[in-house]
Every structure is written in C-alpha cells, then in structure tokens.
A and B are shown apart, each in its own frame.
Chain A
Amino acid sequence: MDRSSNGNAPVVQTRELEKIYKMGDVEVRALRGVSLSIGGGEFVAVMGASGSGKSTFMNLIGCLDRPTRGSYLLNGEDVGRLSRDQLARVRGRQIGFVFQGFNLLPRTTAIENVELPMLYQGIPARERHQRSSEALARVGLGDRLDHTPAQLSGGQQQRVAIARALVNRPTLLLADEPTGNLDSRTSVEVMGIFQELNDQGLTVLLVTHEADISDHARRVVTFKDGLVLSDSRVERRRIAREELLEEATA
C-alpha cells in the first residue's frame, strides 16, 4: 500500500484520502483517493498544476482541514477526525508552516513573530525569548531580532517564517510555494536552509510548481486531477550549497 518510504517510521500516512467541496449545487472532488506514506527524515516535493489537488492535500496534511473520506495518520495518530481545537493543538506542536507570502505579522518584530507559536503552548516568556533568538540565529538572522517585516528583504522575511516554523520543534515542516515570491538566488538560499534542516533529520514536505525547486527534494510526488500521477526519487538532486558556491566562483 505504501508507495515508497526511506524505511523510517512514517510521519505522514494517508489512505484513500478524499476531499469533496460543495460549491452551491456542484460537488468538486478535489482529492479522489490519495494513499501516500512519508517516512521520517524524507524531503518530498509535491508538484502539479493548479487544480491538481496539491493545495487541498497540503491543507489536509497541515491539519488545516479535515478529509471527507479516508484516513490520515500523523506520527501514527489518526488526525482526520479531530475537532477544530484538537487540530489547532496538533498544528501548534507537530507542524511548522512556511508560506509563499511569508505570512508574518506586520509591524511586529522578527523575534515576536517567532515567539508566536510558543504563545499558544503556554511556554514561559523567558524560554520563548531564548528559543526564538536561537531559531533566528539558526537561519542567519541573529542580528535582526528587532526588525519588523517591512525592514527586512523577502529572503530575510522567509527566514523569519522558517524560524517561526521551527521554534516548536515540529516533526513535519510544510512549505507551500516558499520560493514563489523570491528571486532565483534567494530561492536557492532558502532551499539551502531546507536541505540543511532535512540533513539534520527534519521531515520536509514542499509544494511547488517549479521543477528546479523540486529538484532540491529527494522525492517528487506529482498530482493530477486529485490523484497521484507519479511518485519518484529525484535522480540528479540539486544541492543548494554547491549551486551558491558555483555562482560565487563563476
């Protein structure tokens, strides 16, 4: 049943996942039975044209939405039938989000943005501050703690978002078109951070429609019409660190 895995215990395991939206009288079958397994430490890119169901899939995996049919186990726990509040708890503790539009709180400093997820887990202020500064240092923004998003470049904003996604030590990092608003060099830098995190053992699920971005993953799953069209290993994987080096020497 499980299409493929790196042998580790699966972090994400879906079985015949379906999602049907009702728009007036019309039923839209956005997802028509997706069975997929992602092992711990994998780096998976989800590709597909718009309307392929990849965004719906991401929303379900991110516990932002619940499936109409089928099951979804996150770290072995069936999260498909949880209540809204329970889903919020799962999101807060196990999932880190990185969005295309960064989605930082405006007029709020970098460190306050990173502290946000911990606010909802009842972590004391001192620890919040410490963990946030560490997370920002990890993405190379240790000297920009008190900058607001408006004072940061796109790439820097996305790094703040990555720090925010990491700060609650999630088991799964979900990145939805994380390079969509960035130029190509900054995109590679951001992919470099993802690769680094993945090398340290974090499971990364990336949604993109750009092939040169998905080539940074280890495995690519392509969606079409609400079904998995293909699922394969990346043959010639791009390594962001090397790309940046080449560019520097060129």
Chain B
Amino acid sequence: MNVLASLRTALRALRKNKLRSLLAMLGIVIAVGAVVATVSIGQGAQAKVAAQMESLGSNLLMVLPGSVAMHGVATGSGATQTLNRDDAAAIEKELTNSVAAVAPINRTGAQIVYGDQNWFTQVQGTTAAYLQVRGWPLAQGEAFGREEDAAAAKVCILGKTVADKLFVPGAPVVGEQIRVKHVPCKVIGVLASKGQSSWGQDQDDVVLVPWSMAVRRLIGTQSDAVGQLMISARSPQMVDDAEREITALLKQRHHLSEQADPDFQIRNLAEMQDAAKQNTQTIAVLLGSVALISLVVGAIGIANVMLVSVTERTREIGIRMAVGARGRDVLFQFLTEAVVLASVGGVIGLLIGIVTSKWMAIKFEWPTLLSPPVMLGTMLLAGFAGIVAGFYPALRASRLDPIDALRFE
C-alpha cells in the first residue's frame, strides 16, 4: 500500500471517530501550543534584555576606584579617590589600539529650575566621549567639546525625561537658560530617548554637563578625582585586551607592582551579558523539559487511544489481512494514523501558540518573538511522538492472527 493511499485510509478512519480523534490529539495540541507560546515569550524577553544591554553601550568597560590599604586598614571600594583625569587622558592617549573612547564621570544630584517648573535629577559631569561610549545620539542641538570642559562652561545637555518635565511640548529647548542648583546654565542639546535600563531605571532622567563644570561649580572641589571611567573597547573581541592593558597601565601609573592588588576595579559588560545569557539558557532548558514532558503526556494520550482503536477494530484488521494486507501494511496504517493525529494536533497547537503569543504581545505589551526553528522543531517532535506512541499499538495490530481477528466480536 503506498503512502498516499494509507494517508487517505488514516484520514478516513480518524474522521469516523471525530470526538475520539480530537481527544487523542488534545495532549499534543496543548503541548505544542504551550511550547510555541512560552518559547516566543521567553525569546521576546531575551531579545529585550539583549537590547537593554546594548543600550548601556557597546563593548563597555567600567573602571571604578578600588580599595586601598593604608597602615593595614583597607577602605571599602568606591570610598577612595584613586582615579583622576590624568588616568583617563593616559588611557585615551596610550591605548589607542584597544580603546575607542574614555569618558570620566562624576555624578551629583541637583534641583534644576526653568521658569516655574523644577525637577530633581542626576547631573553627570563628563565629556563628549560619553555619548560615544554609550552610543547615545542627540535628538536636538549639539554636544559640548574640549573648550567647554576646560572652561567649566555653564552649558548642559538634557535627557528626554528632564526636557519633558521642564518644558511644555513643542516649546524651544535648545538655547534656553535653566538653573542647575544655583548655577545658570544654557541648554545646548537634548538626548534621544534611551528608555529603561535592564534594572528599570529611567536612563533619560539625567542632565549632562562638562566634567569640570560639575566638579568645580556643582560639587565645588578643586580635586581631579574621577568617580568612574566608562570606556569603550574598539570591538567585542578587544574587550579582554583592553581590560588587561588598562589594568597594566593604571597599575604602572599608580606605582603598583604587577603582583599587587589594584586600587581600582574594572567591570566588564561582557561578564554581565554572559550572566544574562546563562539565565536565558537556564530558562531554555526549563522550557525544553516542560515541552518534553507535555509531549510525552500527549504521546501517552495517543498511544492509549490507538490501543483502544486497535482492539475495537480487530475485525477490520482481520478483514484487511484476509484480502491481502501484510503485517507491515497494517503496521504502517496504524502508524500513519498515529502520526496524522500527532501532526494535526501539532498544527492546531502551533496555531494556538501563535495566536496566544500575539495576544500576549498586545494585551500585556510583552515582546514575543516567534522563532521558526523552534516551531519547526516542535512540529517534528510532535510527529516523532506520534511514531513512538503509535508503534506499540501498530505492532500489536500487525501481529494479530488473521483467523482470530476475523472471529473477533
């Protein structure tokens, strides 16, 4: 019996018992639907996390002041001022092979006022390199340059949130005078919106000013100490090189031997990305096991119904054998039925999964990502489950004795 004929026979047999066929495939429907929906939700989340990571800046390294031990007493990290502008300048000048940009950052909170509006936000003193490191374009105006930094010029760039809080929509922003703390300050640019960071912080709630302006006028110190350095490596492959070279250079500048503990620490975004990747892999494994379990349950459902079907149709099997069906014809027929059940269930499940995923995306504004390889793989797995589930019942059918089968009441 050829494939087409057995397919038609199988479809006809399944149509004769619509309700039972439907119940038999229900397990597979749910399994495939659940897998497609959850994987699309998981992958949507993954993509979102990856995008957020990306928004932090590409190939990012952060250098923070570390702890120093003085007379046997170690200070906590960040409590010291071991980094300065000269360190930043040295890295930028000497490590041109691996480092693309270096941005020194000092932060302070400040009340800012425009007209009768005011807002408390974070002010970051930095250089134009910051925008490059963070990969953050301006929506309006322009950035400050070296001259403004050297002169501690009273200029600022507003984050989107700050601009929205102070100015009415549509009003001119660039060129206006605002006050940061008590310092009048000219707005020269507005940043493009970057949205929330991966930990939920509004990245647009910020004001950027030249580094020296922040340190000298807002914080009010003559110190050259830098709160942190944000450094962008030239490429993802260069991140490790850059980290090593920065460590060596800073140790040298800080008169530390190669074996000594550094008085600074470097955080590598790649490490954070790895951690995130590991999390998503854990989720993938979890989803995979759920998928497998539900497919096994679905397969058991099919096996159960096929066994009942074989018993119920013993006489039919006898008739088929009497008119010339070989064992393998009967085996193939029942296997085909099981695979058709599983595949039809798979297709229905796939549709339900897609609809659910789209619905989730709209209803909960949760990004979902339908992955064709996953959908295809799940379908293949469902078909395979059909083969496994159908094999034993089909084998039993094929081994029936034609005489006994014909006599079966």
Contact = CB atoms under 8 A, between A and B. Distances in A.
Interface of A: 59, 62, 64-65, 84-85, 88-89, 91-93, 97, 99, 103-108, 116-117, 119-122, 125, 164, 168
Contacts of B16: 107
B293 interface: no
Kindly name the residue among A64, A89, A99 whose own CB sees the greatest number of chain B CB atoms within 10 A.
A64
Given A64-B402, A84-B327, A85-B328, A120 B322 contact: no
B315 interface: yes
A120 B326 contact: yes
Interface in B289-323: 315-316, 318-323
B5 interface: yes
B316 A105 contact: yes
Nearest to B17: A107
A120 B1 contact: yes
5 contacts: A88-B326, A117-B323, A120-B320, A120-B324, A168-B324
B328 A89 contact: no
A93 B324 contact: yes
B348 interface: no
* Interface of chain B: mostly helix, strand, loop or mixed: helix
Contact of B326 (A85, A99, A116): A85
Contacts of A62: 322
Interface string B189-225: 0000000000000000000000000000000000000
Contact of B327 (A65, A88, A116, A117): A88
B249 interface: no
Given A59-B403, A99-B406, A64 B1 contact: no
Contact of B5 (A91, A97, A107, A119): A119
A103 B1 contact: no
A93 B12 CA distance: 25
Given A103-B319, A105-B316, A107-B16, A64 B403 contact: yes
Given A99-B406, A103-B406, A122-B2, A64 B326 contact: no
Contacts of A84: 326-327
Nearest to A55: B403
A64 B322 contact: yes
Contact of A92 (B316, B319, B324): B324
A242 to B, nearest CB: 33
The 10 closest A-B pairs by CB, nearest first: A92-B324, A117-B323, A120-B324, A88-B326, A85-B326, A64-B402, A103-B319, A120-B325, A97-B322, A64-B403
A92 B323 contact: yes
Interface in B377-409: 402-403, 406
A115 to B, nearest CB: 9
B324 A89 contact: yes
A46 to B, nearest CB: 17
A120 B361 CA distance: 51
B312 to A, nearest CB: 11
A92 B329 CA distance: 12
A93 B318 CA distance: 17
Contacts of B319: 103-105, 116
A80 to B, nearest CB: 16
Interface string B255-275: 000000000000000000000
Given A64-B402, A65-B403, A120-B1, A103 B315 contact: yes
Given A93-B324, A105-B319, 16 more contacts: A64-B402, A64-B406, A84-B327, A88-B321, A88-B329, A89-B326, A91-B321, A91-B322, A92-B325, A103-B319, A103-B406, A104-B319, A117-B323, A119-B1, A120-B324, A168-B323
A116 B323 contact: yes
